[in-house]
Chains A and B, each alone.
Chain A
Amino acid sequence: MSAFCEGALFSVLPMGGIIFDIKRFSVHDGPGIRTTVFFKGCPLRCQWCHNPESQRVRRELMVWRERCIGCGACVSLCEQGVAVPDRVRGEGCILCGQCVDGCYAEARQMVGREMSVQEVMAEVERDIAFYDESGGGVTFSGGEPLLQPTFLYALLQACQAKEIHTAVDTCGWADWAVLDCVRPHVDLFLYDLKLIDEVAHRRWTGRSNDRILDNLRRLSAFGQRIILRVAIVPTINDDAQSVRQIGSFAAKLPGLERVDLLPYHRAGAEKYTRLARDFSLPGIRPPTKEKMAEIARVFTALGLQVKVGG
């Protein structure tokens, strides 16, 4: 472990983090039957993001209008006097969560909750029998797990102590020092790659891809097990040039295990409404099967292992 790891970053005893979901019987985020732990908060703002509730670190209110039974509990419980049954947040809401606690119909839900390492592990350990049978384990996803490095590090260590296979699903936007610390405790990286063109990347995700590409090269050079995950978003990265660029980049990574091509889907569109946010890409349709096959062929031709779908 580098001095850095033992120093500033991890000197404070880790304790907890903010999680927005723990999904058991997760079967598309790494090998076998897994439990996926979703960290809240992401440095990128990909405009096609299907988990918009994962982007901000702080908790958020989500409202499922169709579940509202009109009992009015949210209004009467709100000490700020700002809760409105069919609106996400009134002006002056302090996210105290009173309205959520009183919403028995679960029309109002708080996304994100503080959890300790022990709490997360208690949930993760429940399915050990399934991991053992299937060669599964736990996947830390998000949001961006590397954005809560001490929490992630502690969880990875806890998993390793229990011999639970670990995967980290990351966008790669982090300090190398952080990645370098967690790296030895990660059995498999699911590394997301969106675009090689820096300008386009900045435009669609809000960040440059410099360190993403750099980190990926370095991880690969260390011989980490990596599966590259590329969401194919029509009009954004499904053109021949973008595909070729990603392919060429991937082909240069030594020991890359596989490329998963994930067809863009609109499952997240309604979440934006529930969060009272605008979805900036309403017009994009999922890519066709033929298109996915065509893109897969490009990757295959470069000598890469490819799988369509996660």
Chain B
Amino acid sequence: MAMTERVARLRQQSLDAVPSISAERARLMTEFYQQSQGLCSAPVRRAWAFRYLLEHKAIYIGEGELIVGEKGNVPKATPTYPELCCHSLADLEILHSRGKIPFAVSPETRQLYADVVIPFWRGRSMRDLIFDEMADGWKAAYEAGVFTEFMEQRSPGHTVLDDKIYYMGLLDFQQKIDASLAGLDYLNDPEAYAKQEQLKAMRVAAGALIRFAKRHAEGARELARQEKDPQRKRELEKIAAVCSRVPVHAPRGFWEALQYYWFVHLGVTIELNPWDAFCPGRLDQHLYPFYERGLADGTLTRDYAEELLQCLWIKFNNQPAPPKVGVTAAESSTYTDFAQINTGGLRADGSDGVNPVTYLLLDVIEEMRLLQPSSSVQVSKKSPDRFLKRAARIIRTGFGQPAIFNADLIVQELIRQGKSVADARNGGSSGCVEVGAFGKENYNLTGYFNMPKVLEITLHNGVDPRTGRQLGLETGDPRQFASFADLFGAFVRQLNYFIEIKVRGNNVIERLYARYMPAPFLSLMIDDCIARGKDYHDGGARYNTTYIQGVGLGTVTDALTAIKYHVFDRRALSMDELLAALQGDFAGHERMRQMLLNRTPRYGNDDDYADAVMQAVFEAYYQAVDGRPNTKGGTYHVNLLPTTVHIYFGSVTGATPDGRRGGAPLSEGVSPVQGADRKGPTAVIRSVAKMDHARTGGTLLNQKFTPALLQDEDGLDKLAQLVRTYFKLDGHHVQFNVVDAATLRAAKENPERYRDLIVRVAGYSDYFCNLGEALQDEIIARTEHESF
């Protein structure tokens, strides 16, 4: 279906809206805390704060909207969370004026911050508390760029919703709370009081969202009264009816289901600013019953369902991720808040999850072509080929969506982590690539971990060469190492040392959030917080996972391989010569650099020599992290993904033995170093699949293609076959970057970084960088002319 005039207009409005800082939430939150001075439990105070926000924030019902509700006062007006991170005036100026990912900050907002927000919150936010509590070793490693800290500006909250809101209204939730309260055992359970406070808070939070929806109903009714256009008048009356029905009660139809979800989404993201915002998860599964029923009883058509979904998509796009500054901005430099709508996958009984709504969602994804929400297809061996090919047709249009996940492997990963089979099958991927048991798990990502930096520190006997500070252990002068095993052993010791620093920090931060910043509303939504009477931040969820995301796998693998190969095996290079060249960023050693780049077995070429090093690095990282207890009754696991942190981590990491110059980006995800893979996608897939993805909670693989390679049915088949084979080899995720002319131009300028780029030349394909200049220009010109 073509976009309706309404959708086209709302979509354009969303695209045109300039992201700005809305001071409303900061003002209301400050007002609330100023007025709320007396003693009360932390969860109850947070629930009252939530209620205050929802009672007083402006209601926005835009012209022509069908799904209503905004986080700010207008689209893309982005709230701040001063209780978590109190921006300084300098921060506001940076947000306002930076070149990438800016947020307009009005003079009034700055004034409010100067007069009210900053005086109240400075030194009292979670961010201040966290930095106060971290040990010196943690701070030194953090400042050096060994790891980042997700919770320094945002709350934990990486989770996704299941199907509970589609059969339970908030009144039902309150009944469950009451039952839980009634069952508290004050005689034997020393935590009974704490649970009582938590449950009371959750009850208040549920009521707050009900009130918020009612305010939208009242607003819509008022607009309807004034509306002259009879059709819009009817729509506004319908909006009022929908907002009166949900979220108080369970939804009866498709529209109510979407609006209910959207209220919950707003509730979760207004309460706090959880990382990798919340999303409806397996939306095709959740909506299918409403869709079928609507078509059967004549209350819905496919076109109208599509239009409603498009309106929901625009709502997602209207909400930029909370403004980030400093390292957090560097590691996640994007407006996207990582809501990832899943399609396909498996049902709880293990049957194929693809249904008519799956295809409807894929149509919406293709037509909307928006940054948010992100989308994925969950491909199991049971998924029909047409589902994968439908996704490939969208991928071909070149906006990087949907990402493709291996549903069977995700189930295996979740079961290995201890989830029940049904919970695993109802799970999926979220954020970038992270797996979770939707609606039942707190799977918190806590920060990226810079593996190449750890190698750099190892090569300097514990010293960070950038600052000369002794950051790590003294594991020995590498010039004295007799074998690669000595070096690798030292690397593993440093790795464990820094992981322990990070874990210790995490375990304090988890407690700080549990104690000072409970999330009663989010807790309503995640099993078994109500049953346990515990907060989401305090182990209330059925499953509690803490992740540390490994970064730079390709770079550290190639760097270690280069040392193993040239220094220890071939003895073509002494450790001393290598270290001297690294010290000087290869100045005067270009020939050596070329040798390291071109004459070393490298990860991504299905070369067992290099891939064995990758396996060893993975094993070391896995052993360092996996299975450690967190403070919520759960355990640590690993995943491997970077968002944009490989750029930041690269900027703080000097020249590496793989021939990478100091400051250059690290490799991303589990992908090979940019340009190192020269044997095509099957070799990349084989290399990457030598890692045991089943023991991770998500890995990210990027592949590039030009649109021409995928132009015909045959190309789509090949793409689907590549994916199926990767998944047969137990790969977790792959995304296809269908490159445009700009990328090709960059590849022409910096061939070293794009050696892996394959283009279709004429009746055959070749590496772009291997083509002569004239032909490169011809292909660039051709690519520019290919319309998406």
Contacts and interface: CB of A to CB of B under 8 A. Distances in A.
Given A126-B686, A269-B774, A133 B599 contact: no
Given A33-B682, A270-B775, A69 B594 contact: yes
A25 B773 CA distance: 24
Cβ-closest 5 pairs across A and B = A270-B772, A265-B762, A104-B594, A310-B763, A25-B680
Interface string B757-778: 0100111111000011111000
Nearest to B679: A24
28 contacts: A23-B680, A25-B680, A25-B681, A25-B722, A25-B758, A33-B682, A33-B718, A33-B725, A69-B590, A69-B591, A69-B594, A71-B591, A104-B591, A104-B594, A126-B683, A129-B728, A130-B682, A130-B721, A133-B721, A133-B725, A134-B717, A134-B721, A266-B775, A267-B761, A267-B775, A269-B774, A270-B771, A270-B774
B515 to A, nearest CB: 51
Interface in A113-131: 126-127, 129-130
A1 B775 CA distance: 46
Interface in A254-278: 260, 262-263, 265-267, 269-270, 273
A276 to B, nearest CB: 15
Interface residues of B, number: 38
A32 interface: yes
A104 B679 CA distance: 18
Contacts of A105: 591, 594, 598
A166 to B, nearest CB: 18
A130 B762 contact: no
A190 B80 CA distance: 65
Given A25-B680, A262-B763, A267 B771 contact: yes
Contact of A133 (B598, B728, B758, B762): B728
Given A33-B718, A266-B774, A270-B773, 18 more contacts: A23-B680, A24-B683, A25-B758, A27-B715, A27-B765, A33-B721, A104-B597, A105-B598, A126-B606, A127-B686, A129-B686, A133-B724, A133-B728, A134-B717, A134-B725, A265-B761, A266-B775, A267-B764
Interface of A: 23-29, 32-33, 66, 69, 71, 73, 104-106, 126-127, 129-130, 132-134, 260, 262-263, 265-267, 269-270, 273, 286, 309-310
Nearest to B686: A126
Interface string B162-198: 0000000000000000000000000000000000000
A104 B599 contact: yes
Contacts of B512: none
B587 interface: no
B8 interface: no
A25 B682 contact: yes
B595 interface: yes
A127 B590 CA distance: 35
From B709, B718, B729, name the one whose CB has the most chain A CB atoms within 10 angstroms. B718
Interface in B703-718: 709, 714-715, 717-718
A238 to B, nearest CB: 15
B762 A134 contact: no
Nearest to B717: A134
From B591, B598, B724, name the one whose CB has the most chain A CB atoms within 10 angstroms. B591
Nearest to A69: B590
B718 A134 contact: yes
Contact of A310 (B725, B764, B771): B764
B744 to A, nearest CB: 15
A81 to B, nearest CB: 20
Contacts of B594: 69, 71, 104-106
B716 to A, nearest CB: 11
B722 A104 contact: no
Contacts of B729: 129
Contacts of A73: 591
A24 B763 contact: no
Interface in B317-361: none
Interface in B688-746: 709, 714-715, 717-718, 721-722, 724-725, 728-729
From A130, A133, A269, A286, name the one whose CB has the most chain B CB atoms within 10 angstroms. A130
Contact of B590 (A71, A132, A260, A266): A71
Contacts of B763: 28, 260, 262-263, 265, 309-310
Contact of A267 (B725, B758, B766): B766
A305 to B, nearest CB: 15
A11 to B, nearest CB: 36
Contact of A130 (B592, B598, B725): B725
A54 to B, nearest CB: 13
Contacts of A270: 771-775
A148 to B, nearest CB: 22
B771 A129 contact: no
B762 A262 contact: yes
A162 B384 CA distance: 29
Nearest to A132: B725
Contacts of A129: 686, 725, 728-729
